Amino acid sequence: MPSAESVLFMFGLCAMVAEAMTAALAAGRRKMDWFGVAMLGSVTALGGGSVRDMLLGHYPLLWVKYPSLLLLTGGAALLTIALAHVVHHFHLLFLVLDAIGLVVFTIIGCSVAIEMNLPLIVIVVSGMITGCVGGVLRDILCNEVPLLFRAELYASVSLVTGALYVAGTYYRLGDVLVLLVSLAVGLTFRLLAIRYKWEMPKFIYERGDPH
């Protein structure tokens, strides 16, 4: 049976490709040139992990250690250009890919923090940063309010996934089992949130509103 590390590594590569491709679609909606498409794809796929590593002092950054990841993510984004004419047929697939990216990156972030023997709350936050910040950077570069703050449950999915992964790891329930269960629960939670439009309560304030 493959180790949890190898399984997580393969899922991580798939998640990077998925996030790069979804970012390319966002770049296309903003009419970016090919360089912009490739850059946005790499920033989205690698940004969360890079911000996490800088905050935790975990060096070298992954794309510095493995420069081929820049080619992988930038290439995946550029490949999306060639597939643009059929992308509308795969709307559901891209939703699933984005959900997979969120969940996988969250687990990777938690795993890095666990290896550094950091406090529990830092481990969970590390997972959330890894899972969510790439999408935040994508939306900021596209001049949009980040999805994290305006739509279906997103950070909450990351929080639940990370907490479940950390709990399973703490109680030593089996690395591969914990990984697969966390992936399944997180992915299901995210897709249900999209399907039924589950949202966090919103704070709406208008100046002069007596209520």
Q: Is the pLDDT of residue 59 over 90?
A: yes
Closest CA to 162 of 140, 137, 179: 179
With respect to residue 74, please indicate whether it lies within any of the assigned structural domains.
yes
Cα–Cα distance for residue pair 30/135, rounded to 1 Å: 15
Q: Is the pLDDT of residue 172 over 90?
A: no
> Which of 207 and 66 is assigned the larger pLDDT?
66
Domain range holding 91? 4-196
DSSP 8-state secondary structure symbol assigned to residue 98: H
With respect to residue 9, please indicate whether it lies within any of the assigned structural domains.
yes
> Which of 204 and 111 is assigned the larger pLDDT?
111
pLDDT for residue 116: 96
Cα–Cα distance for residue pair 126/128, rounded to 1 Å: 5
With respect to residue 205, please indicate whether it lies within any of the assigned structural domains.
no
The secondary structure element, H or E, covering residue 97 is: helix 91-115
How many percent of the chain have pLDDT more than 70? 96
Question: Would you tell me the crossing angle of helices 175-196 and 155-170 to the nearest 10 degrees?
Answer: 160
Q: How far apart are the first and last CA of the chain?
A: 60
Which tokens hold the place of 161? 């996934």
pLDDT average, residue stretch 178-207? 88
pLDDT for residue 210: 55
For 73-90, the pLDDT digits (tens) are 999 999 999 988 887 677
With respect to residue 150, please indicate whether it lies within any of the assigned structural domains.
yes
For 95-142, the pLDDT digits (tens) are 888 888 899 999 999 999 999 999 999 999 999 999 999 999 999 999
CA atoms within a 13 Å half-sphere pointing along the CA-CB vector of 96: 5
With respect to residue 158, please indicate whether it lies within any of the assigned structural domains.
yes
The secondary structure element, H or E, covering residue 80 is: helix 68-82
pLDDT for residue 63: 96
The total of structural domains in the chain comes to: 1
With respect to residue 207, please indicate whether it lies within any of the assigned structural domains.
no
- Mean pLDDT score of the chain: 90
pLDDT for residue 51: 98
With respect to residue 206, please indicate whether it lies within any of the assigned structural domains.
no
With respect to residue 203, please indicate whether it lies within any of the assigned structural domains.
no
